[in-house]
């Protein structure tokens, strides 16, 4: 059947710059470049996904990749994307898959919220000259401390404390499994988390044994519907455990790692036969209710001697506040809310683009509900899904989060260009692939350096913003919605966010 689809991109080669070195042929994992029988470089631009690997690695900057300007008759209802999707399905009869998060022009609440700064009545603080503290504790806190006081230097704490994670910055790496991402990408995340004093999340694909000793202290291991790689050793080597109920990119949907990606190493890590599909069911089949969740939470706590906080991650959905409240009451020490912008390796496009709610509204609603019920300090909240910059982090925390997860931003730091072709397994940047030739393109040490740099840059910016507000410890920002003002928001939106409009 002839394809009626338009090319997404056009690829141009500037003849007088090209030295015919063939780097583009080597770099492109989607087969755009080849040599014809005369040895001339041939471009099949219908295969181009816009990953820009060839552009970056062309030694003479001879390549230009840009969106195909050819359009259907302009129509703001039947857009190019809609028409293309219909044609694609008419040709394949399948579910359209994609990667990354929701890319539709929904209102970005972060961009309608502005931060405060101190003027006159209290001083701003200069983070270059004064201490500025970003350390956060994640986990359950008691309502009060009982102490035995025998003078200021001799105080005994009587209250039994729950285990908490200690992160040196309120930014953690979100769950991305070995299998979904490459070994090198996985290792880079672990290395960066350890170096910076924060945490990475293994995702649901297990935790390679040789990395456990060195990086276990900085790992949050996931226990998801497929239970891949879960055993007592896996649970106990980590700093915390996360039960994944859902994720922002595909709420209510499971996962599928095709058998061709289940290499020997992945098979060992996931504890499944080599070459078999790794299927993660949509629900966890032992959790059909809140009491089932509680059972699993306490089973994991029992298995780890109550020494590790247990997190529960859900996608931000309509009743997120009530669900979160139930999760805390079920025993979750940390709740992770993943907004609809959250990314993924592979998801049905229709789900990615139409299910879930914005993280900003979800965090505000959850924080408010937990406070109303007097249980906010029984858990920590991690905001996840579409955190793009340090200002998003600050806004999320001021809305009520304790910390954030970054996934997409971390991948971008390592090289990802958001081409949304994660599900193809051909990631030319060596991130979302198991092809050994592609994987080795990503040097874990260098990728870790990029990640550490990103954390450092964001942390410095957070300090600048805090200092501007006259705050020198991140805990004084949490839930401090007075430091936020809305612009271009409707009354109900301000109400849900719990913030005033600018000028108020």
Partner 1 sequence: MGRRTPEKDIQACALFGVMNKLGKRFGCEMVVTALKNMKVRGNGLGAGYAVYGLYPKFRDCYALHVMFQDGNIEAKRAVDRFLNENFDVVDDEEIPTNPEANVVDPPLLWRYFVIPQKKGKDKVLSDDDYVVSKVMYINTKIDDAYVFSSGKNMGVFKGVGYPEDIAEFYMLDQYKGYIWLGHSRFPTNTPGWWGGAHPFSILDWAVVHNGELSSYGTNRRYLEMFGYYCTLYTDTEVIAYAIDLLMRKQKLPIEVVSKIFAPPLWHIIDHMDEKRKKFYTTLRMVYGPLLLNGPFTVIVARHGEMFGLTDRIRLRPITAGEVDEYLFISSEEAAIRAVSPELDRAWTPPGGEPIIGRLEADLDEVLPSQ
- Note the residues at the interface with partner 1 (CB under 8 A): 118, 120-123, 125, 130-131, 133, 135, 137, 141-145, 147, 149, 151-153, 155, 157, 161, 164, 371, 374, 376-377, 398, 469-473, 475-483
Report the residue number, 46 or 168, with the smaller CB distance to partner 1.
Answer: 168
Nearer to partner 1, 13 or 141 (CB): 141
Phi, psi of 230 (to 5 degrees): -85, 120
CA–CA gap between residue 148 and residue 137 (Å, rounded): 24
Cα separation, 164 vs 171, in Å, equals 15
What is the full DSSP assignment across 371-396?
Answer: HHTT-GGGSEEEEES---SHHHHHHH
How far the first Cα of the chain sits from its last, in Å, is 61
Q: Which is nearer to partner 1, 479 or 486 (CB)?
A: 479
Q: Tell me the closest approach of the beta carbon of residue 403 to partner 1, in angstroms.
A: 13
| Angle of CA points 238, 243, 249, to nearest 5° | 115
Closest approach of partner 1 to the CB of residue 153, in Å: 7
Taking the C-alpha atoms of residue 254 and residue 248, their distance in angstroms, rounded to an integer, is 12
Cα distances (Å, whole numbers) of residue 267 to 143, 214, 261, 275 = 45, 22, 9, 8
Closest separation in Å from C-beta 312 to partner 1: 21
Nearest to 284 by CA among 227, 239, 343: 227
- Residue number, 143 or 210, with CB nearest to partner 1: 143
137 or 298: CB nearest partner 1: 137
- Residue 193 Cβ, how far from partner 1 at the closest point, in Å? 19
Nearer to partner 1 by Cβ, of 165 and 416: the residue is 165
* Least distance (Å) between residue 379 CB and partner 1: 13
Give min distance, CB of 335 to partner 1, in A. Answer: 16
Q: Please calculate the CA angle 206-212-214 and round it to the nearest 5 degrees.
A: 145
Are 260 and 275 spatial neighbours (Cβ–Cβ below 8 Å)?
Answer: yes
How far apart are CB 330 and partner 1 at their closest, in Å?
Answer: 19
Count of CB atoms situated within 10 Å of the CB of 86: 12
Residue (317 or 466) nearer to partner 1, CB: 466
């Amino acid at each position: 059947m002839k394809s009626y689809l338009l090319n997404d991109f056009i690829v141009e080669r500037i003849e007088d710059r090209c030295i015919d070195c063939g780097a583009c042929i080597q770099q492109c994992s989607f087969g755009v470049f080849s040599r014809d029988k005369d040895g001339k470089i041939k471009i099949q631009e219908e295969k181009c996904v816009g990953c820009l690997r060839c552009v970056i690695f062309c030694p003479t900057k001879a390549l230009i990749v840009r969106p195909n300007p050819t359009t259907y008759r302009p129509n703001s209802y039947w857009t190019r994307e809609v028409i293309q999707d219909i044609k694609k399905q008419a040709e394949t009869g399948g579910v359209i898959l994609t990667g990354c998060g929701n890319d539709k022009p929904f209102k970005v609440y972060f961009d309608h919220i502005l931060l405060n700064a101190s003027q006159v009545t209290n001083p701003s603080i200069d983070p270059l000259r004064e201490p500025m503290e970003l350390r956060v504790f994640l986990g359950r806190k008691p309502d009060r401390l009982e102490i035995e006081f025998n003078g200021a230097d001799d105080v005994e704490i009587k209250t039994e404390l729950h285990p908490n994670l200690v992160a040196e910055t309120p930014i953690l790496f979100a769950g991305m499994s070995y299998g979904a991402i490459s070994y090198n990408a996985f290792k880079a995340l672990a290395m960066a988390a350890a170096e910076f004093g924060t945490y990475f999340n293994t995702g649901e694909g297990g935790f390679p044994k040789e990395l456990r000793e060195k990086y276990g202290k900085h790992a949050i291991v996931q226990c998801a519907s497929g239970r891949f790689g879960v055993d007592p050793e896996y649970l106990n080597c980590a700093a915390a455990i996360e039960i994944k109920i859902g994720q922002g990119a595909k709420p209510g949907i499971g996962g599928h790692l095709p058998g061709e990606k289940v290499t020997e190493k992945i098979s060992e890590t996931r504890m499944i036969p080599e070459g078999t599909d790794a299927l993660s069911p949509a629900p966890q089949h032992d959790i059909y209710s809140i009491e089932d969740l509680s059972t699993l939470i306490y089973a994991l706590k029992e298995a780890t001697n109550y020494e590790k906080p247990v997190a529960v991650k859900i996608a931000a959905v309509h009743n997120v506040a009530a669900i979160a409240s139930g999760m805390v009451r079920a025993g979750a020490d940390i709740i992770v809310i993943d907004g609809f912008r959250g990314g993924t390796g592979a998801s049905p496009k229709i789900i990615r683009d139409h299910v879930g709610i914005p993280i900003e509204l979800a965090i505000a609603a959850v924080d408010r509900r937990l406070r109303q019920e007097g249980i906010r300090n029984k858990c920590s909240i991690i905001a996840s899904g579409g955190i793009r910059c340090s200002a998003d982090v600050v806004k999320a925390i001021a809305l009520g989060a304790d910390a954030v997860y970054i996934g997409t931003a971390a991948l971008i730091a390592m090289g990802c260009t958001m081409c949304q072709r994660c599900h193809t397994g051909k990631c030319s940047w060596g991130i979302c692939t198991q092809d050994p030739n592609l994987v080795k393109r990503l040097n874990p040490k260098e990728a870790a350096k990029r990640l550490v740099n990103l954390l450092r840059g964001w942390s410095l910016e957070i300090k600048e913003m805090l200092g501007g507000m006259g705050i020198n410890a991140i805990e004084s920002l949490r839930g401090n919605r007075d430091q936020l003002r809305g612009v271009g928001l409707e009354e109900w939106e301000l109400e849900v966010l719990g913030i005033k409009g600018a000028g108020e």
